[in-house]
């Protein structure tokens, strides 16, 4: 009988996923679910055949240089791989995989929820009721903004961006988008989507901007202080992708000065730290990185991790291999 590969999992995963892993592999689980320190991660990289990290684990070139000779695969539990230096891993002969696709619908749902919550002041209203401050209906109190008929600008028109567009179209929003290249004509026609090659030009024209692109060196602070100033004062910024895409300090300052109407954020530039100014603003909805947090999504992510490991260990190309040129 072939020896089972040594697999080290850095965080607590759903019980059925961990059980199946234990059936197939020689697994070390993190039952405490506390993030591993850099030294603990280095130890895992030194001892394992396969490491299963999450977005909370930063596997940079320094840590990867301490990887042991047996480490052949990093099977990321997550779609984004900005936590891993993929180029260094590949240079060291370590394959990297991720879990794309399975969290598309859940993240798009959360994006739509943040658009609605920000425009209609849902969290503010809930807090008034829960604190006992509701004194009755008033014709001029808690006025938000209608979203039907407004323009939504989508930054990144991949799987999630298109899923957001489908939902937003049903709510009566006009779809605009900026992407590295236009979507196929059939998709654009179905979504009635307007493509903007110039991000600057799109930002100046939309009422809501939704960030749905990955974090790469090319997208770091893509919504810079200069670009945020192009938005109209009534605009809302929503981010369910990665915090690093937005200059968070500039966003907080503009919101505090009333230069933007509001924001709905599920991710942050220095996560889990959040700019203190954002925490104090009533026109900001802040969520704890829960865009893909459904039972179904986490189970399907685990299944993809297992398939990637099993396929790789059987000597085949894993279905979700990440190539540096893709980033």
| Active-site annotation holder among 121, 242, 244, 248 | 242
**Residue 69 falls in which region: left (phi positive, over 0), alpha (psi -120 to 50) or beta:** alpha
User: Residue 118 — φ and ψ, nearest 5°?
Assistant: -75, -45
| Active-site annotation holder among 124, 271, 303, 321 | 271
> 234 an active-site residue?
no
Distance CA 227, CA 240 (A): 19
Secondary structure of residue 6 in the 3-state scheme: strand
Whether a cis peptide bond, with omega within 30° of 0, leads into 272 is yes
Q: Beginning with the edge strand found earlier in the chain, give each strand of the sheet holding 26-28 in spatial order.
A: 26-28, 6-9, 50-52, 73-75, 95-97
Annotate 155-213 with DSSP letters as a single string.
E--SHHHHHHHHHHHHTTPEEEEE-SSPPPHHHHHHHTPEE-S-HHHHHTT-SEEEE-S
Closest Cα partner for 112 from 316, 264, 280?
Answer: 264
| Active-site annotation holder among 58, 159, 166, 289 | 289
> 271 an active-site residue?
yes
> 11 an active-site residue?
no
Catalytic residue ranges:
242, 271, 289
């Amino acid at each position: 009988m072939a020896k089972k590969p040594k697999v080290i999992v850095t965080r607590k995963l759903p019980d059925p996923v961990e059980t199946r892993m234990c059936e197939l592999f020689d697994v070390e689980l993190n039952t405490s679910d506390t993030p591993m320190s850099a030294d603990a991660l280095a130890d895992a990289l030194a001892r394992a055949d396969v490491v299963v990290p999450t977005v909370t684990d930063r596997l940079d070139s320094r840590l990867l240089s301490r990887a042991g000779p047996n480490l052949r695969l990093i099977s990321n539990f997550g779609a984004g791989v900005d936590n891993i230096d993929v180029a260094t891993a590949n240079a060291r002969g370590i394959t990297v995989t991720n879990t794309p696709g399975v969290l598309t619908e859940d993240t798009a749902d959360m994006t739509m929820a943040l658009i609605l919550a920000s425009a209609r002041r849902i969290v503010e209203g809930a807090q008034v009721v829960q604190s006992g401050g509701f004194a009755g209906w008033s014709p001029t109190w808690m006025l938000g903004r209608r979203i039907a008929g407004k323009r939504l600008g989508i930054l990144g028109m991949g799987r999630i961006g298109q899923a957001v567009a489908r939902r937003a179209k049903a709510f009566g929003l006009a779809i605009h988008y900026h992407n590295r290249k236009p979507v196929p004509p059939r998709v654009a026609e179905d979504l009635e989507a307007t493509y903007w090659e110039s991000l600057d030009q799109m930002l100046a024209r939309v009422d809501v901007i939704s960030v749905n692109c990955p974090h790469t060196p090319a997208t770091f602070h893509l919504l810079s202080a200069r670009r945020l100033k192009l938005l109209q004062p009534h605009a809302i910024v929503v981010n369910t992708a990665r915090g690093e895409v937005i200059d968070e300090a500039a966003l907080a300052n503009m919101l505090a000065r009333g230069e933007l109407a509001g924001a709905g954020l599920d991710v942050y530039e220095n996560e889990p730290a959040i700019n203190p100014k954002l925490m104090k603003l009533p026109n900001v909805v802040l969520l704890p990185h829960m865009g893909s947090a459904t039972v179904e999504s986490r189970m399907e992510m685990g299944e993809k991790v297992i398939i990637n490991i099993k396929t790789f260990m059987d000597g085949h190309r894993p279905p979700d291999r990440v190539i540096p040129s893709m980033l």
